[in-house]
């Protein structure tokens, strides 16, 4: 696991975008796992800039999103379909048929979840999976207590997650109670993981994820077992880490890299 601590959100986002862009340049038909929420927005903005100003080509890229609310139509302004279209897809040259977001209104959601797993496998597995982290340590919508070997399925959202996500809705009661999510086992099947976190409100979750024991009660701790996991955080999110992560010479435009193990 590699830990990169950047001075602020902007620098953190650039590092993540550079890693994704490097993959796309080396493998134009890369399969990329995407996340929603406020944390990856800076990364998406940088990828959009790279596309428009540097010609980063997404025409062969395939994407799979982590999750979607059950019951929200893709056109709903709070759906993750809508989020991805507005914040990334419509600004780059990716083909709509190459983008995959769980269908929260599928007639048979259990069957859909099985098919989503098959679609990922048929694409050759995910090359890089972008992750955020909840204040309770969840990744995607794998809430505390989720099976560490789980696959794509429907999950009931934790009350803390509903509280945290209420800021995206008019009020707390509008937040859906269920979501389709990639499972922890599915996420761990990606060839590389990039976990992003920013701000003091994520500091406790990051400290537990990096330094705590692996436990289903903090699902993000599972990334300790991934052979190519990179955690990229800003200084505020790093405030509760007890170990020091001295900067070492990196390969990304001279950026300092902090290596754990």
142: closest CA among 78, 134, 204?
134
Q: Name the active-site residue from 117, 138, 165, 226.
A: 138
Query: Is the CB of residue 253 less than 8 Å from the CB of residue 18?
Result: yes
Q: Name the active-site residue from 6, 103, 143, 234.
A: 143
241: closest CA among 230, 233, 249?
233
How far is it, in rounded angstroms, from Cα 133 to Cα 220? 7
Q: Name the active-site residue from 67, 103, 164, 234.
A: 67
How far is it, in rounded angstroms, from Cα 154 to Cα 67? 9
Task: Indicate the helix (H) or strand (E) that contains 130.
Answer: strand 128-131
The CA–CA distances, whole Å, from 65 to 51, 83, 122, 239 equal 20, 11, 15, 30
Respond yes or no: is residue 138 known to be catalytic.
Answer: yes
Task: Indicate the helix (H) or strand (E) that contains 129.
Answer: strand 128-131
Respond yes or no: is residue 108 known to be catalytic.
Answer: no
Q: Name the active-site residue from 65, 136, 142, 165.
A: 136
Task: Indicate the helix (H) or strand (E) that contains 3.
Answer: strand 2-6
CA angle 163, 168, 66 (to 5 degrees): 85
Respond yes or no: is residue 143 known to be catalytic.
Answer: yes
Report the catalytic residues. Answer: 67, 136, 138, 143
């Amino acid at each position: 696991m590699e830990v990169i601590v950047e001075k602020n959100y902007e620098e953190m986002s650039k590092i993540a975008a550079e890693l994704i862009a490097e993959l796309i340049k080396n493998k134009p038909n890369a399969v990329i796992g995407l996340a929603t929420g406020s944390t990856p927005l800076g990364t998406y903005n940088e990828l959009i800039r790279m596309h428009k100003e540097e010609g980063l080509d997404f025409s062969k890229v395939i994407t799979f999103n982590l999750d979607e609310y059950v019951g929200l139509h893709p056109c709903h302004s709070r759906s993750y379909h809508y989020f991805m279209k507005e914040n990334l897809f419509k600004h780059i040259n990716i083909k709509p048929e190459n983008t995959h977001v769980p269908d929260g209104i599928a007639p048979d959601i259990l069957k859909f979840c099985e098919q989503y797993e098959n679609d990922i496998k048929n694409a050759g597995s995910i090359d890089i999976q972008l992750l955020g982290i909840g204040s309770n340590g969840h990744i995607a919508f794998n809430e505390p207590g989720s099976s560490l070997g789980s696959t794509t399925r429907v999950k009931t959202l934790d009350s803390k997650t509903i509280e945290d996500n209420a800021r995206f809705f008019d009020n707390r009661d509008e937040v859906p109670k269920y979501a389709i999510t990639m499972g922890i086992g599915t996420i761990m099947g990606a060839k590389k993981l990039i976990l992003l976190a920013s701000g003091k409100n994520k500091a406790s979750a990051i400290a537990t994820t990096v330094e705590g024991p692996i436990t289903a009660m903090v699902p993000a701790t599972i990334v300790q077992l991934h052979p190519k996991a990179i955690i990229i955080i800003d200084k505020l999110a790093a405030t509760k880490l007890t170990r020091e992560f001295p900067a070492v010479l990196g390969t990304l435009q001279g950026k300092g890299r902090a290596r754990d193990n």
